Structure 1
Amino acid sequence: MSSQDTKNAISGVLVIDKPTGMTSHDVVNIVRRGTDIRRVGHTGTLDPRASGVLVILVGPAVRLSEYISASDKRYQAIIRMGTATDTYDAEGSFTREETAIDVTEEQFEVELKKFEGEIEQIPPPYSAVKVKGRKAYEMARNGEEVELEPRMIQVHHLEILEWATPEVVVDVHCSSGTYIRSLANDLGEVLGCGAYLVGLRRTKNGRFSLRDSVPLRKLKEAFDAGDWYKYLIPAAESLTDWPFVELDPDQVETVRHGHRIKADPDTEPGMVRGISTAGELVALLNLEEGEAGDLEWQPKKVFFS
């Protein structure tokens, strides 16, 4: 097998602690150059002004992107009260006069807790959401009126970590697609003093947290040293919150060709990971009914070759 064939067979996850000041795509390009592997992608954009957990998929593992991208996220958000901006963060222009803050920690917490649960949220006008095929931020920069439809999001938990008015540090555990900038702005509205986001750090993406991450600086050093593989997490570990079925060698061969295998009659419906006896991720399988009425695992995405 050639060295390029060997590289093409590499599949896994790099969990990177992204510094502020660079885009998620910048990080993808650094990984492409460092690994000499073209097939690299991320699982959800992390704003250039934000730092923290960025999950990078390498090789065939990029096909897991849609599943990891849909995972819950966790952030530490620094919210500044007293005024507001048109971008809902520190990059924008102020839209109201700075006012004195007559809000206690207890009052803030009461209003904060009202944002927990399934709620409607309107994305910021300066966002990549498309309106009639155009990105909202491009329209906003042109001075056009941007009307965005509210979206249903899930906010699992909100907690004050640090109270140092005018700034508050809040722990946010939420569904994918939640805009922390909008949360800050909406909080300012209900508090009556205005608020905007001044700092954001993603602490968790799906099952991966900062504890699993490597600082980008250290990863670059590993690229230079040629031992970056030590940071590569097997693809099978990327969806450990999913149930799995172990496949024997014959079943692996059947599944890798896209064919169904039998499932136990009392199996719960849903998708699972198909794992080989060696612990490799073979495929994502969905439970379906066969022609004879029995239950079968249908391969949805195959990773093993």
Structure 2
Amino acid sequence: MDGVINLYKPADITSHRAVQKIRTILNVKKAGHAGTLDPFAEGVLLVCLDRATRISEYLTALPKEYIVEMLLGVRTDTYDITGTVVERRDYSSVKEEELHSLLKQFVGLYRQVPPIYSAKKKRGIPLYRYARKGIAVEAEPQDVFIHEIELLDFSPPLVRFKVRCSRGTYIRSLVDDLGERAGTVATVRRLKRTAVGEFTEEDSMTMEMISEGRYRLYTIDEALYFLPEYRLSERELYLAVHGTGFRIEGDIPRNIPVRLKTDGRVVAIGTVGEGNVMKINKVLLSED
């Protein structure tokens, strides 16, 4: 069963556990996801099955959209409501118009520090392992990109906003930074991922639907809709399935992944480099 399922992950379950449940329900050999959702978060989680597990890195690179509910006046050690409160601060000076302006400041390239309770690694070890052992370490700042951000509701101490952002963006860090810029502190009370690329909440499926056989399985070709494609000749097909590169004719973008197809199937992922040579990055299907 090669393909991708747009799962609506419920809250209070890890992404890994959600994937394992789908693997059991559908009785597949391999399953993985394309972008972790925190246990307390809910929403779109792309689950890759069997050979589609090999394309998860490309799906992970897609922009994400979230609906965020933040709680003003409270900071926790995890930057979300599941953590221990470490600070309380007055938030009465925060006004709606000011918050509109502050949100706009985050649009574009934005440098953030990942939460200490995160899977981000330092010296090969996830940060949360240091945190759980009480070992003080500094997370390295990283550049992310905020495509758009919009205030949806201002009802202090609760604030809701929508954000579309690049891969690797920690919404918990965004909320912590927003609280500081607003002259108070803040934490994430609720988080819902509403889209990954063009995979949306509206098109997602619950575990109950999947267990009842009511689900859509996106083919590898459909899931990689955002990559350019190249149709293989018989000779190129032979070379591609054996991982051998070849020179191509035509105008194909360089240095970005390309779907290499035959008979409507994606056989491999390649990249065009110098001299118009197609390098094979991943072989997805055999010659048959």
Measured against the shorter chain, the TM-score band is over 0.9
Residues 73 and 204 in structure 1, CA contact (< 8 A), matched pair in contact too: yes
Unaligned ranges ≥5, structure 1: 1-9, 223-227
- Which runs of structure 2 are paired with 1:126-145 in the superposition (5 Å)? 126-145=117-136
Residues 207 and 239 in structure 1, CA contact (< 8 A), matched pair in contact too: no
Query: Which residue does the alignment assign to 1:297?
Result: 278
1:155-211 CA-partner distances (Å, limit 9, x unpaired): 111111222221111111111111100111111111112111000001111331213
CA shift in 2, pair 1:125/1:266, >3 Å: closer
Kindly state the Cα deviation for residue 265 of structure 1 after the two structures are TM-superposed. Answer: 5.0
- Which runs of structure 2 are paired with 1:60-99 in the superposition (5 Å)? 60-99=51-90
Query: Which residue does the alignment assign to 2:259?
Result: 273
Structure 2 distance, partners of 1:215, 1:275, is 31
- Of the three residues 160, 167, 192, the one matched with 2:183 is 192
Unaligned ranges ≥5, structure 2: none
Kindly state the Cα deviation for residue 144 of structure 1 after the two structures are TM-superposed. Answer: 2.9
Structure 2 distance, partners of 1:284, 1:133, is 28
* Structure with greater Cα Rg: 1
Structure 1 distance, partners of 2:26, 2:130, is 38
Query: Which residue does the alignment assign to 1:151?
Result: 142
- Of the three residues 265, 268, 272, the one matched with 1:283 is 268
Query: Which residue does the alignment assign to 2:42?
Result: 51
- Of the three residues 101, 108, 119, the one matched with 1:117 is 108
One-letter identity of the residue aligned with 1:295: N
One-letter identity of the residue aligned with 1:106: E
> TM-score, normalization: structure 2?
0.92
Structure 1 distance, partners of 2:113, 2:178, is 13
Query: Which residue does the alignment assign to 2:220?
Result: 235
> TM-score, normalization: structure 1?
0.87
One-letter identity of the residue aligned with 2:276: L
1:207 to 2:188 alignment: no
- Which runs of structure 2 are paired with 1:176-191 in the superposition (5 Å)? 176-191=167-182
Structure 2 distance, partners of 1:155, 1:203, is 15
Residues 122 and 150 in structure 1, CA contact (< 8 A), matched pair in contact too: yes
One-letter identity of the residue aligned with 2:259: R
CA shift in 2, pair 1:138/1:251, >3 Å: closer
Residues 91 and 183 in structure 2, CA contact (< 8 A), matched pair in contact too: no
Structure 1 distance, partners of 2:22, 2:165, is 28
Structure 2 distance, partners of 1:11, 1:142, is 40
Residues 207 and 241 in structure 1, CA contact (< 8 A), matched pair in contact too: no
One-letter identity of the residue aligned with 1:76: I
Structure 2 distance, partners of 1:101, 1:181, is 22
Query: Which residue does the alignment assign to 1:7?
Result: none
Kindly state the Cα deviation for residue 231 of structure 1 after the two structures are TM-superposed. Answer: 1.7
Structure 1 distance, partners of 2:4, 2:134, is 41
CA-atom RMSD, angstroms?
1.8
Residues 18 and 51 in structure 1, CA contact (< 8 A), matched pair in contact too: yes
